[in-house]
Amino acid sequence: MFKKSLLLLLIVSTMYGEKESPMAREIKKMKFEPLKWEVPAVGKDIKKVAGESGIVLYIKENHSLPLVEINVYIKGGPAYMEYGQKLHPWLIASCLMRGGTLSYDPDELIDSLEFNAIDINVKSNDEYFSLSMAFQPQFEELAIKLMEEILFKPRFDAEIVYNEKLKIINEWQRSMDDPGQLLYEASKEVLYNGHPLGSKPDFESFNAVTPQEILGIHKRFFQPKNMVVSVVGDINSDSLVNILFSVFDSKYNNDYDLELKPAPTLGERKVYFVQREIPQGYIHFVQDAPAGYFEDTYKISLVSDILGGGFNSKIVSKVRNELGLAYSTYAYFSSLTNLKGTFYAFSATRSDAVEQSIYCIEDVIKQMENGQISEEELNLSKESFLNSSVTSVRNDWAYVQRLALRSLFGFPDDYFERMNDEIKDLTLQDIKDASKEYLDHEKMSIIIVGDSTKINLKTIEKFGPIELLAL
């Protein structure tokens, strides 16, 4: 009954476009028990050790389930490649899963994993690879042996490499039919113009790359000195440390040191348009921001939340609740990077409402810049942000891997431990100052994916000179 009532309130708010929806008012009435913020501490509850090879391990015993989960994060990916080679890391990740190893041919590797119920996944992200593995404790020895083989002794079988190339090209081409993915790629091209991360794939180079060349690229990235590992589960942490040190051994390091090409500064404000025959317009505001952990990290977390982080945020209240222009709209700072951070504001709306949506989002950003933030908004944001944050690290498996990943980007080990006190201590003036310092609508470019026969580009020119992007 409660769920039905909330659904009815949401429908009413959408139909009548009230400034503050009934749903928002009901949420404000809800009372919760005071948040109990307790997270495991590194050095006390979580064992952190570094090996001679440069490997860093975060290990937490948890015997509540017969389960072990290992996550390996490896610096590397498209940001470290040459211009146009952004698909090469995808091929490495795909072949690590399916291309076999020195001791196992492709079929044997898959059979060993499946027969022993060892779940494994390898992904390539913009600035890192990730390998995640989950298994039952009785298969620990085999699972760790297979992990070592996959990470450091891949085969890159020629037939598998050829087939995976075809799959990746097909996946890329299909992703360009998804307006949301297209908007993301267009935004990267704008933000990283001239940088490998912002380049289009060079399919000729990709098709021509050999298994031996892929192996050479792999060896540049997959060195223990470039890795951070998290382990949580039904383990003996003391004995496991020695086992993992023998796996992530210095013999797998080489003389190649990774180097990131500096990220370019976002140019003058423009409106970038990508033509697609779709019924909606997909919109991004983008602006350069600080990267990694810095002195105002907690402040911009609340700036994000107040501006576009939840149902009561300024952008959602205006664009969705009051005007009914979009179902999905939000804003946030992305700082989990060693290149440069980015501010994003997003909305997807009707083609005939693109101009109005842009105007409203920009107007709300201006309000933040000018300090139009209330104590009520701040307090509501603190409560919602802390509740959502503690939920996102609700168990050891989620928490320890987040610690390990953030360490790649300069976040301190006590980042989550301090979060509750740091957020609660922030004042309204702190948030006003941070908004003024890190938000600047005049430096934001706008990217639109939509149909120019339905979106009046002449009226969009008021927001900046229009440049067409071909993707």
Evaluate if residue 422 carries a pLDDT over 70.
yes
Closest C-alpha among 361, 375, 368 to residue 448: 361
Q: What angle do CA 190, 462, 454 make, to 5 degrees?
A: 80
- The one-letter code for the residue type at 385 is F
Beta bridge partners of 134: 69, 119
Question: Mean pLDDT lowest for which of 43-52, 377-386, 390-399?
Answer: 390-399
pLDDT given at position 327: 87
Closest listed residue to residue 228, CA positions, set 129, 123, 119? 129
> Contact, 84 vs 199, CB < 8 A?
yes
Question: Distance between CA atoms of 376 and 157, rounded to whole angstroms?
Answer: 60
pLDDT tens by residue, 105-144? 999 999 999 999 999 999 999 999 999 999 999 999 999 9
* Terminal-residue alpha carbon distance, the chain: 47
Name the DSSP class of 338. Answer: S
What digits encode the pLDDT tens for the residues 173-204? 999 999 999 999 999 999 999 999 999 999 99
User: What pLDDT band is residue 31 in, cutting at 50, 70 and 90?
Assistant: low
Task: Work out the angle at residue 15's Cα, subtended by the Cα atoms of residues 14 and 20, and round it to the nearest 5 degrees.
Answer: 50
- Find out whether 404 and 58 touch, Cβ atoms under 8 Å: yes
Over 80: is that where the pLDDT of 245 sits?
Answer: yes
Calpha distance 464→445 (Å, rounded): 8
Mean pLDDT of 384-393: 86
pLDDT of 37 over the 80 cut: no
- Please compute the mean of the pLDDT values over residues 45-53 and round it to a whole number: 97
CA–CA gap between residue 155 and residue 219 (Å, rounded): 12
Angstrom distance (rounded) from CA 427 to CA 43: 31
pLDDT class for 50, splitting at 50, 70, 90?
very high
For 86-103, the pLDDT digits (tens) are: 999 999 999 998 999 999
pLDDT band (50, 70, 90) for residue 38: confident
For the record, the structure tokens of 202 come out as: 């060079």
Is the per-residue pLDDT at 6 higher than 60?
no
Token couple for 10: 């949401």
**DSSP secondary structure, 88-148, as one string:** HHHHHHHHHHHS-BSSS-HHHHHHHHHHTT-EEEEEE-SSEEEEEEEE-GGGHHHHHHHHH
Burial of 263 (0-12, 13-18, 19+ CB in 10 A): buried
Residue 73 in contact with residue 404, Cβ under 8 Å? yes
Residue 16 or 72, more confident: 72
Q: Tokens in use for 218? A: 């792999």
- Could you tell me the domains of the chain? 47-252 (3.30.830.10), 265-469 (3.30.830.10)
**Joined tokens for residue 182:** 């297209």
pLDDT for 22 = 62
pLDDT at 253 over 60: yes
State the pTM of this model. 0.90
Confidence check: pLDDT of 12 > 80: no
* Average pLDDT score over the chain: 93
Does residue 7 register a pLDDT over 80? Answer: no
With a cut of 80, say whether residue 24 has pLDDT above it.
Answer: no
Average pLDDT over residues 434-456: 97
In terms of Cα–Cα distance, which of 283, 276, 326, 282 is closest to 452?
276
